[in-house]
Amino acid sequence: MKQTILIIGLIITAIATLPVVFSDDDWREYKQLSLGVSAISDPLYKEECGSCHMAYPPGLLPAASWQKMMLGLEDHFGDNAEIAAEDHQLITQFLTKNSADDSSYRRSRRIVNSLKQTDVPLRISATPYFLHEHDEIPDRLVSKNDKVKSFSNCNACHQQAEQGMFDEHSIRIPGHGRWDD
């Protein structure tokens, strides 16, 4: 009996101290941690970088990767993607500021944590976190699937990729349907 009272007492104490443990800031952080990556966008970025491919949320790569990429737009994965000098500067700033490095979003953190400090990947699909998350997906669903073609087309399967959401519920693989791990 004494034990039961003790346990109930402990539970009550735990509940009562919850608001102290989780301040407003913590809740905000928890909410962000539970999301994918920041959905932040920018009209200039979308226009300049979203014409030929999806405008990838900047939280999918660290700042060093974005900066390196922006210095090589003349050969951007085999395409020429040169842009005006003033746009180049503004977009580099936007990508740096919103990169995965300082983000509190869950997937941004995981991408950064999966990299060695010296790694500067240019492809999101080459980060260890990405590879780990996609290692069970057979070729027939991606590279051999005409409606997907490549892992670069996030939004072919991740319906809310441009909003920064990559959870399993929003996956619909063309010609296959939902994906359950």
Partner 1 sequence: MKQLILITTIMVTQLSLAQAEPATVNEVMNQFITQGASRGNAEKGKSLWNTSYAGQAPFTERSCQSCHGKDLTQPGKHVRTGKLIKPLAPSANKNSLNDAKKINKWFKRNCKWTLGRECNTQDKADILSYISQQ
Binding site for partner 1 (CB under 8 A): 51-54, 74, 77-84, 149-150, 152-153
Pair 119, 51: CB distance under 8 Å:
no
147 vs 178 by CB, closer to partner 1: 147
**Residue 149 beta carbon to partner 1: minimum distance, rounded to whole angstroms:** 5
Side-chain-side CA neighbours of 132 within 13 Å: the count stands at 9
Q: How far is the CB of 80 from partner 1 (least distance, A)?
A: 4
List b or e across 117-150, with b for residues whose CB sees 16 or more CB atoms inside 10 angstroms: eeebbeebeebebbeebeeebeeebbeebeebee
Comparison of 54 and 120: residue with beta carbon closer to partner 1: 54
Minimum CB separation of residue 83 from partner 1 in Å reads 7
- Closest approach of partner 1 to the CB of residue 171, in Å: 19
Cα 94 from Cα 96, distance rounded (Å): 6
Q: Which is nearer to partner 1, 100 or 156 (CB)?
A: 156
DSSP secondary structure letter of residue 158: B
Which of residues 79 and 102 has its CB atom nearest to partner 1 in the complex?
Answer: 79
Residue closer to partner 1, measured from CB, 27 or 77:
77
